[in-house]
Chain A
Amino acid sequence: MADNDILARIALCTERGKINNAAPYPPDLKGEDGVDELTEKALNDGVDPNDILTQGFMEGMGRVGKKFSKNEVFVPDLLMAAKAMTAGMIRLKPHFESGAAKHKGTFVIGTVRGDLHDIGKNLVRMMVEGGGWQVIDLGVDTSPEKFVEAVKEHPGCAVGLSALLTTTMVNMEETVKAIKAVSPSTPVIVGGAPLTQEFCDKIGADAYSADPQGALDYLADYTAA
């Protein structure tokens, strides 16, 4: 298989959530190699790990993310795509560690203090990882101090804050202020069910995203600027 063919196949299997040969999903690809085998083969064939990341995983996740934004696919599809991508990422991990493959940047994410809901955060994490970023997931119920610590530890990172409840979104303001106090240039993206652009502006965050693809698009614009 030529480099372009195998990369196109990795992108397709990522998009469709085909993890490996044994996986029964999706039914129309049953019995065929998935992201796991294809990534191994590509690496053995000497394909550049950066190409596997950008033209394989990122391409596939980008397609599924755009379809998700348009309500053409749903959470099960996104989860399967992320699971397939993870299988390939495990193969790429040594190449990241050796420096042969490079992330686009570092993205720190967590739900704010008081909020234990992590579905939205996890979807954003998957999409941003699929966009080629290293993601530091601080988990749920994250204090402003913990975000600040992570920002200091990862200079140049971007930060994502998530809240599901009207009762916890108010804690975002405190977190944004704490981050901006130590690192005014760190971009902070906010999201979650009760949030609006108006609320984002009010608390001094840099961007509001209504869905995971929006967060990824913002990060792409930010790195391009």
Chain B
Amino acid sequence: MESMTSIERVQNLLRRQPVDRIAVHEHFWGDTIKDWCAQGHIQPGESLEDHFGYDFQCAGPLNMVADLDFEPEVVEENEETMLVRDGNGALLRRYKTHDTTPEHVDFRVQDRAGWEEYIKPYLKPEHRRIDFEAYRQARDAARAKDRFFTCYAVNVFELMHPVCGHEYMLMGMAMDPDWIKDMVATYAQLTIDLMEILFSEVGYPDGIWFFDDMGFKQRPFFSLDMYREIIQPGHKLTIDYAHSKNIQVIMHSCGYIAPLVPGLLEAGIDCLQVIEVKAGMDLIELYKQYGDRLSFFGGMDVRTLYTNDKAIIDRELERKIPIVKGNYGYLLHSDHSIPNQVAYENYRYFVERGLELGSYRNGD
């Protein structure tokens, strides 16, 4: 097959149609890139898309914090951490020294009354929620290199927990499901309204990459029934909007979400990302069950990369890629993101060897 542009390649992979090779993209912990810059492998500010030859260019232009005028307030600070109250009314502790997700200390919203008083009135589709310029620049860069351009957006489950925390949200799903359904509907509509403003003004993306972490080790946070009743309506609304504009949808979720895949398919996703092996996700099993209806992006165990042993990396790639590329629906990515224990040359090797195995040029 002739060489394809990244846009052609990814579009076909998301429809499971013939391509020249699998596509590639990656996410990194901030410290990894810092270290690789310090080691001289990457120049500060250099495009990772150019450096590693990625098929994607992405922008995350939407600000979904409730109160945009609220100046984050430092409640407590020591040498290592800062405790900050944010515009969602959440009290979060973050490290100053390195990159990680914050500790959820307290939430102003603990029930429906808190949601209706502190958050819902603020969630309006205002222009100032959108970084038009970042989106425009990323889109232009993608177009210049024929890369597949995706708009990152957080979907409903991930939008709710910064407001009320996992525990209140999950208890709310049991105790007051109508409250959670109201949050789901509000955030889904706000997402669509903001996208419509942005896309009609600057131009449409090729894909939307939704982020919605719905699982942890060996289980989803909720049952498939609960997903269908409470979360799926929000997914369906946002995915239907994308499809109505001929935009393909990638859904990211960390954790073990295999039991939710039938529901995600009903919601209309085109591709599942990130397929976290250490949480129990099994790429080959998913491919066998759903490979005719769904594309897969990720699922390469990052723990094999930080062994920094090429033979182990080879085994992981060779065990999976020849199988999962079968339906022209596989895109290369680790099963989460690359930590700084991974040596630059070994990551580079992972990409090169993965793409070699993912080539269709020799009739593979």
A residues with a Cβ closer than 8 A to B are: 17, 23-26, 68, 71, 73-77, 79-80, 83, 114-120, 122, 140-141, 165-168, 192-194, 210-211
Chain A proximity of B6: nearest CB distance (Å): 29
Contacts of B219 in A (CB 8 A): 68, 71, 74-75, 211
Q: A140-B103, A166-B306, A166-B341 are in contact. Are A74 and B217 (CB under 8 A)?
A: no
Once the chains bind, are B103 and A117 in contact (CB under 8 Å)? yes
Contacts of A192 in B (CB 8 A): 217
Q: Is B262 an interface residue (CB 8 A)?
A: no
Q: Is B236 an interface residue (CB 8 A)?
A: no
Q: Is B136 an interface residue (CB 8 A)?
A: no
Once the chains bind, are B175 and A25 in contact (CB under 8 Å)? yes
Once the chains bind, are B217 and A80 in contact (CB under 8 Å)? no
Contacts of A116 in B (CB 8 A): 93-95, 100-103
Taking residues whose C-beta sits less than 8 angstroms from the other chain, chain B's interface range is 35 or more
Once the chains bind, are A167 and B339 in contact (CB under 8 Å)? yes
Could you say which of B44-52, B109-117, B220-228 contacts chain A? B220-228
The closest CB in chain A to the CB of B169 belongs to A76
Once the chains bind, are A75 and B101 in contact (CB under 8 Å)? no
Chain A proximity of B29: nearest CB distance (Å): 7
Once the chains bind, are A120 and B216 in contact (CB under 8 Å)? yes
Once the chains bind, are A193 and B279 in contact (CB under 8 Å)? yes
Chain A proximity of B112: nearest CB distance (Å): 12
The closest CB in chain B to the CB of A170 belongs to B341
Q: Is B174 an interface residue (CB 8 A)?
A: yes
The closest CB in chain A to the CB of B104 belongs to A118
Contact with A along B163-180 (1 / 0, CB 8 A): 000110011011110000
Once the chains bind, are B175 and A80 in contact (CB under 8 Å)? yes
Q: Could you list some 23 contacts between A and B, CB below 8 A?
A: A71-B218, A71-B219, A74-B219, A74-B221, A75-B166, A76-B171, A76-B173, A76-B226, A114-B98, A115-B100, A116-B94, A116-B95, A117-B101, A119-B216, A140-B103, A166-B278, A166-B302, A167-B29, A167-B31, A167-B339, A210-B217, A210-B218, A211-B219
Contacts of A71 in B (CB 8 A): 218-219, 259
Q: How many A-B residue pairs have CB under 8 A?
A: 93
Contacts of A166 in B (CB 8 A): 278, 302-303, 306, 339, 341
Q: Which of A75, A83, A122, A167 contacts B221 (CB 8 A)?
A: A75
Contacts of B216 in A (CB 8 A): 119-120, 193
Interface centre among A71, A117, A122, A166 (most CB of B within 10 A): A166
Determine the distance from Cα of A30 to Cα of B143 in the docked complex, in whole angstroms.
58
Contact with A along B265-307 (1 / 0, CB 8 A): 0000000000010110000000000000000000000110010
Once the chains bind, are B174 and A165 in contact (CB under 8 Å)? no
Determine the distance from Cα of A120 to Cα of B341 in the docked complex, in whole angstroms.
24
Once the chains bind, are B167 and A77 in contact (CB under 8 Å)? no
Contacts of B98 in A (CB 8 A): 114
Interface centre among A73, A75, A79, A141 (most CB of B within 10 A): A75
Once the chains bind, are A74 and B226 in contact (CB under 8 Å)? yes
Contacts of A74 in B (CB 8 A): 219-223, 226
Once the chains bind, are B93 and A24 in contact (CB under 8 Å)? no
Contacts of A211 in B (CB 8 A): 217-219
Determine the distance from Cα of A141 to Cα of B223 in the docked complex, in whole angstroms.
30
Chain B proximity of A2: nearest CB distance (Å): 31
Contacts of A122 in B (CB 8 A): 167
The closest CB in chain B to the CB of A83 belongs to B171
Once the chains bind, are A193 and B217 in contact (CB under 8 Å)? yes
Contacts of B81 in A (CB 8 A): 141
Q: A79-B167, A120-B217 are in contact. Are A165 and B100 (CB under 8 A)?
A: yes
Contacts of A140 in B (CB 8 A): 93, 103
Determine the distance from Cα of A167 to Cα of B175 in the docked complex, in whole angstroms.
36
The closest CB in chain A to the CB of B337 belongs to A166
Determine the distance from Cα of A75 to Cα of B213 in the docked complex, in whole angstroms.
14
Determine the distance from Cα of A1 to Cα of B340 in the docked complex, in whole angstroms.
62
The closest CB in chain B to the CB of A80 belongs to B174
Determine the distance from Cα of A194 to Cα of B304 in the docked complex, in whole angstroms.
12
Contacts of A73 in B (CB 8 A): 223
Determine the distance from Cα of A90 to Cα of B187 in the docked complex, in whole angstroms.
37
Contacts of A194 in B (CB 8 A): 278, 303
Once the chains bind, are B339 and A79 in contact (CB under 8 Å)? no
The closest CB in chain A to the CB of B174 belongs to A76
- Sorted nearest first, the 8 A-B pairs with minimum C-beta distance are A116-B103, A76-B174, A25-B175, A76-B170, A193-B217, A76-B173, A194-B278, A75-B221
Contacts of A76 in B (CB 8 A): 170-171, 173-174, 221-222, 226
Contacts of B255 in A (CB 8 A): 193
Determine the distance from Cα of A117 to Cα of B104 in the docked complex, in whole angstroms.
8
New contact pairs (17) apart from A71-B259, A194-B278, CB-CB < 8 Å: A23-B175, A24-B176, A26-B174, A74-B222, A74-B226, A79-B171, A117-B101, A117-B103, A118-B103, A119-B167, A141-B103, A165-B100, A166-B302, A167-B29, A167-B31, A167-B339, A211-B219
Chain A proximity of B264: nearest CB distance (Å): 16
